[in-house]
Amino acid sequence: MNKLLLIFLGVLTGLGSLAQGHQQKYNVLMISVDDMNDWAGFLKGYPYPKTPAIDKLAGEGVRFNNAHCAAPLCNPSRSAVLTGMRPGTTGLYNNTYNFNDVLSDVLTLPRYFKNNGYYVAGAGKLFHADYISINDWDEYLLRNRDNIDSNIQKNRVGKAVWAAIDQGDEALDDTKMVDYVIHQLKQEHNKPFFLHCGTYKPHLPWYIPKKYFDMHPLDSIVLPDVNENDFDDIPQMGKEMIKHSGKTWARLKESGKWKEAVQAYLAAQSYADAQIGRLLKALENSNYAGNTIVLLWGDHGWHLGEKHHWTKNTLWEEATRAPLVIKVPGNNSNGRVIDEAVDFMNIYPTLADFCGLEIPEHCEGFSMKELMENPDMPIKQPAITTCGQNNHAMRDEKWRYIHYNDGAEELYDHEKDPIEWTNLANDSRYSNVKSFFKQYLPTRNKEQVEIENYHDGYIRKRGVVVSADNPEGIPLDEYYKN
Ligand SMILES: [Ca+2]
Ligand SMILES: [Ca+2]
């Protein structure tokens, strides 16, 4: 074969694979589950979980056994994942200010995919409080209020609110959010898509159809192990973390309703799981099953009595560990379990990498593509969670190290003490362990942002599909008619 012909054939092959490469560009289905802690079955945080859909996905994809949020609260966690920047970089530590009030022109994860030729749409809770930046999306369904009978008998103990309702799944808005994303999966898409589906459950309130309570009979409920003297070795800053919501746990215990409240959380998890199951089934039955990456994450963990606490926003295992599953069709990584500690800053770069997009420079995490494809790859860097200015927790396979902004510390050995009862930070035998972690303490620790007029310019409509062309939005029934 002469040289010219070889070059010609080479060009043809190149063109062919380019065309194919474009067609085969992965789609993305991102599923965000609000307040889903490590009781999701595959993480084994609870002995009798009922989350079959999430567990099935975890079995099919790569399940991260030791994954931690960037911040243990909705807004800072979500903002960090979706902007690619840690709370200490943005100054977003609480739920007051949305990313877009603080950061002008930030290249969010959906905007990055949109800029790179993706059709980008979604539904439900993604950024906190439904503030989405309309230009980041082709269209988005904003969530609505649940449609709960007003005469239900509600249980309320502090921050625990629940009821088993005699209504079907359609009473809850998450059901409609999932329906919309299923609708998207049934459409012909002429370019790759990035679809988002966010469920609000298992976030409070836990007004959940009774059938999900029945999946968790009260006499089967196992309460978390609690050590009455746990706080004897915890510094003042740690005690501050449970100051408010910890009272709910104490009251639940006194009222004898702790078990009921735990049952309600499990019911809310099972409801969310059932919706996710419908969505994943629809993907399986769609034209896109073979080329759609599925990434499921929970925004942070949740205490149900562990460390005398109720809810979130601490730097202990229960608040930082959350579900993360990534399934890339046809990838050799599927079925693997990653025990290395990772944090959610890696979500943005990993999705970009698998989709053949350059990882934007501002992203503070790293792509886990190589780690997923080669699980023996050691990663030096611990997982980092930030809770308020300059308070950080770090995790590797063996240790949790906590460093508060006043210099106080905690250190737990997860091999011997997985429920973090014995603080080893003051034991000189472990000073080298602390030194290891200290070198990774984030150096950017911006002050909490304070701004005026912070909700300006946001869409606060409910239950409508919005787009840049129609920021007022279209009601769902009308939308489906068109
Ligand atoms: Ca949350
Ligand atoms: Ca203790």
Give me the residues paired with residue 392 across strands. Answer: 386, 403
Amino acid symbol at 167: Q
- Return the residue matching tokens 């799981």: 273
Smallest-distance ligand from the CA of 238:
2
Smallest-distance ligand from the CA of 203:
1
Tally of structural domains, the chain: 1
Return d(Cα 356, Cα 352) in angstroms, integer. Answer: 6
Ligand 1 centroid–CA 203 distance in Å is: 7
Q: How far does Cα 310 stand from its chain's mean position?
A: 19
In this predicted structure, what is the pLDDT of residue 236? 98
Smallest-distance ligand from the CA of 95:
1
Report the CATH number that the domain containing residue 69 is assigned in CATH.
Answer: 3.40.720.10
**Burial class of residue 286 in the structure, from the number of CB atoms within 10 Å of its CB (0-12 exposed, 13-18 middle, 19+ buried):** middle
Ligand 2 centroid–CA 229 distance in Å is: 7
In this predicted structure, what is the pLDDT of residue 463? 92
SS3 314: coil
| Domain-embedded: residue 350 | yes
In this predicted structure, what is the pLDDT of residue 10? 43
Give mean pLDDT in consecutive 10-residue pieces for the chain, a chain of 482 residues.
46 41 78 98 97 98 98 96 97 88 88 97 85 88 94 96 98 98 97 97 98 98 97 97 92 98 98 98 98 98 97 98 98 96 98 98 97 86 97 98 98 98 98 98 94 63 90 92 86
In this predicted structure, what is the pLDDT of residue 104? 77
Ligand 1 centroid–CA 272 distance in Å is: 13
Ligand 2 centroid–CA 49 distance in Å is: 27
Ligand 1 centroid–CA 470 distance in Å is: 29
Q: Which of 189, 29, 193 is nearest to 117 (CA)?
A: 193
Give me the residues paired with residue 140 across strands. Answer: 122, 466
Q: Which of 100, 79, 75 is nearest to 89 (CA)?
A: 79
In this predicted structure, what is the pLDDT of residue 7? 46
Ligand 1 centroid–CA 387 distance in Å is: 14
The string over 456-482, giving b where at least 16 C-beta atoms fall within 10 Å of a residue's C-beta and e elsewhere, is eebbeeebbbbbeeeeebbebeeeeee
Query: Are the beta carbons of 254 and 156 closer than 8 angstroms?
Result: no
| Domain-embedded: residue 19 | no
Give me the residues paired with residue 402 across strands. Answer: 393, 410
Tokens read off for 4? 């010219």
Query: Are the beta carbons of 92 and 164 closer than 8 angstroms?
Result: no
Expressed as residue numbers, the domain containing 358 is: 25-381
The residues annotated with a catalytic role in the active site are 74, 128
| Domain-embedded: residue 20 | no
Query: Are the beta carbons of 368 and 350 closer than 8 angstroms?
Result: yes
Query: Are the beta carbons of 436 and 381 closer than 8 angstroms?
Result: no
Q: Which of 390, 362, 402 is nearest to 91 (CA)?
A: 390
- The pocket of ion ligand 2, defined by CB under 5 A, consists of 230, 233, 421
Smallest-distance ligand from the CA of 419:
2
In this predicted structure, what is the pLDDT of residue 127? 82
| Domain-embedded: residue 164 | yes
| Domain-embedded: residue 245 | yes
| Domain-embedded: residue 405 | no
